[in-house]
Structure 1
Amino acid sequence: MAFALKYFVVFLLLSMVSQGMCRCTFGDIQIGTVRTGKEISGQPEWKVTVTNTCKCLQKHVTLSCGGFAPVKPVEPWLLLPQGNRCLLIKGEALPAGASAEFSYAGEPYIFRLIGSTVDPSCNKSLL
């Protein structure tokens, strides 16, 4: 009985690890926002960190930004507005474990991930 239980637990753990490595999605992008403590033109400054927690690089990371109207604009190479969407780092790759950061001053805004493209060669190499 203990023998079978050990093998079941080992199988379960290996299944979870292999599935986690092969199923990168744009859901593996984490977005965090913190107040810096500075004020610009009477508005608080915010630092946004977008982190790729996937084992694969992701490109074309797109965030919601409809109604986003900062007093201190974000550099377009970091956050490029495209209607109600914003493209992070001009669509360039965000490597595994890497983060992109930008700051803005204004009302707090909740950025939501709209989409990204996972490097297809990475998922194939992990199978």
Structure 2
Amino acid sequence: MAFALKYFVVFLLLSMFTQGLCGCSFGDIQIGTVRTGREFSGQPEWRVTVINTCNGPQKDVTLSCRGFAPLHPVQPQLLLPQGNTCLLIQGKALPAGGSAQFTYAGEPYIFRPVGSTVGSRSNH
């Protein structure tokens, strides 16, 4: 009886842990954009903050980038254009509650999350 109870508790804990991670998706990526107050060649500078609101890490975070045309390219280690999408922080994991930031000068652009990987699961 104690043997069965022990395995039941282990199973319950594992299922709760994996349920929490599996409940994550790129929908748990929140993006905020604010004007910094600086200008370059007459264009406003914007600071974009990407936050993982999930309770687990997400990697390979991709954002919509179709039509994104900054005055100067964003540092590729922060935001790497790949066709109509951009890869955030070289695909590295964004921890639970963690954030990444980048700035650009140009017309305002509304970034949207379009994909991520949680654990071994891809969310595109």
Output the TM-score relative to the length of structure 2: 0.78
Match of 1:48 in 2: 48
**2-structure distance, mates of 1:45, 1:72:** 11
Shift of 1:77: 0.4
Q: Which has the higher helix share?
A: 1
Match of 1:61 in 2: 61
Provide the alpha-carbon RMSD of the alignment. 1.8
Match of 2:119 in 1: 119
CA deviation vs aligned residue, 1:4-48 (integer Å, no higher than 9, x gap): xxxxxxxxxxxxxx6x83511111110000000000111000000
Match of 1:28 in 2: 28
CA deviation vs aligned residue, 1:45-102 (integer Å, no higher than 9, x gap): 0000000011100000000101111013210000000011100001110011100000
**2-structure distance, mates of 1:76, 1:117:** 20
Match of 2:3 in 1: none
Shift of 1:118: 0.8
Shift of 1:120: 4.4
Does the aligned pair in 2 maintain the 1:73–1:105 contact within 8 Å? no
Identical-pair percentage: 71
**2-structure distance, mates of 1:91, 1:21:** 21
Match of 2:84 in 1: 84
Count of matched residue positions in the alignment of Structure 1 and Structure 2: 104
Which runs of 5 or more structure 1 residues have no equivalent in the other structure?
Answer: 1-17, 122-127
Does the aligned pair in 2 maintain the 1:39–1:45 contact within 8 Å? yes
Output the TM-score relative to the length of structure 1: 0.77
Q: Specify the SS of the correspondent of 2:39.
A: strand
**1-structure distance, mates of 2:87, 2:50:** 12
